[in-house]
Amino acid sequence: MNSWWQSSTKIQPLTGALVSLALLWVMASSAGAGLSLALSGIAFWGAVLLLWPRLARRNRIQSLVLLLAGFLAMGFGAYRGANLSLETLLAGNSGLISMLVAVSFLALISRPEEEAKEQLPQGKRAIGSSLLAVHLFGAVINLSSIFIIGDRISRRLKLSRIQVLVLVRGFSAAAFWSPFFAAMAVALSYAPNASLPKLWLAGMPLAVAALIITYWQMSRDGEEPASEFTGYPMHYGGLWLPLLLAALVFASRAFYPSMSVLALITLLSPLLAILVLAVRRERVLNQLMTHSSQRLPQMGNELTLFQAAGVLGYGLERLASTLVDQFPLQQFGALEACVAYAGIVLLAVAGVHPIISISLVGALLAPLNPDHTLLALVFLSAWSLGSVVGPLSGMNLAIQGRYGIDSFRIMRWNLFYTAAMSVLVMIGLWGIAVIKV
């Protein structure tokens, strides 16, 4: 039994099949089939159980703590008279996870590694091109962009300080605006009525500011001369995919205003990948099967964390529904948004993953019926900067594991950047709260 359980040749295809089945179920439900998401949740939990022995020990412990806290909150909420729904509990974060799975298919048609055969640029201009490359590719293909570009510029050797900061800041800045980023999936899950155009009105300038601040810091000669920086070439032909996806989301939203952005992205991402593969006359079915059996099982840590966070979020929401009259806040405005943002970032510094803090804040604020656009901007901003400055964030741990850069050093390198960006974030929060557009 143990040998079968540990066998990747059996576990990976079965796990991939379960995740793919759950995605198809959610896509059908989003398209109007009226299917219960509880069944997709069961499939995701099945994948979690299969992948459990392979998860990092830290992720297993964190997930167990989330599950325990979630069930305790549910129990206390039920004791106080809250109604519990097994169907809602099982559905959990199925919509959010399905979007992350759907977006992963975009890696099949966005391949920056194919552009990595030319000589690497050097100097200050290379800093700018590298920032843009990791930012734009990361906005679509997520964390894999760091590894593709990082492996190329490091040649599997240790990255320099400037290279690390360009990678983590350029990538995390995409959380401010990218509709295909995990942060957006989480934000729209807890604030489904958020206005994407209003979010972009604040998020895109924040992303630009993050890139400018990073370029300004990195281009000044310090311990590492900027003239010696080796970077990654940015080909502007790579812009077609994020621009096309954004246009499709907007057009679909106009024709189907009742569909959430989360559902649209979940539907459009795999369909676009299939269409482009077909136009390129590639072996579509073979590519999809390979992606399902090899890439999807690699999402085990995210899958488990988000499933566990869903249990926590539901438990807290049920408990919060019984404490509305005792909740100290009776409104959610700019000041409260700034406090919530700062709290999530500080917890990230302490090692708490943003998804956990967002689940807590989202559940506690739900009874207040807050401005969803304002709330979503809090979550996007906290995710972006919390990932950069959090020593235990998935991104920083991935950098540590692959390139040997201590995650606490990455945190220290980003303290000034986080403080400066936090001022701009709070200005953006006040703007969203005050300006009605």
Share of the chain above pLDDT 70, in %: 90
Please write the tens of the pLDDT for every residue from 265-317.
Answer: 888 888 888 998 898 888 888 889 988 888 888 888 878 888 888 888 788 87
Other C-beta atoms closer than 10 Å to the C-beta of 228 total 12
Which domain, by its residues, includes 315? 2-434
Domain count within the chain: 1
Task: Pick the closest to residue 344 from 375, 378, 319 (CA basis).
Answer: 378
The answer to whether 171 touches 130, Cβ cutoff 8 Å, is no
Residue 343, C-beta contacts closer than 8 angstroms, at least 6 positions apart? 357, 361
Backbone angles phi, psi at 324, to 5 degrees: -55, -45
Q: Are 236 and 213 in contact (CB under 8 A)?
A: no
- On the question of pLDDT at 5 being above 50, the answer is no
**4 — pLDDT class (breaks 50, 70, 90):** very low
- Residue 114 in tokens: 């194919």
Dihedral in degrees, nearest 10, Cα atoms 289, 291, 296, 299: 170
- pLDDT, average across residues 351-361: 81
Of 206 and 112, the structure prediction assigns the larger pLDDT to: 206
Q: Where are the alpha helices (DSSP H) in 280-371?
A: 284-290, 300-320, 334-349, 354-365
C-alpha 72/C-alpha 69 separation (Å) is 5
> What is the per-residue pLDDT for 316?
81
Least trusted range by pLDDT, from 100-109, 159-168, 228-237, 294-303 = 228-237
pLDDT band at 425 (very low <50, low <70, confident <90, very high): very high
Entry pTM: 0.74
Per-residue pLDDT tens digits for 83-111: 999 998 998 888 878 877 887 887 787 66
Taking CA atoms, 348 is separated from 76, 152, 241, 264, in Å, by: 27, 29, 31, 30
Alpha helices in 142-220 (DSSP H): 144-154, 161-172, 182-190, 196-219
Instruction: Tell which wins on pLDDT, 120 or 68.
Output: 68
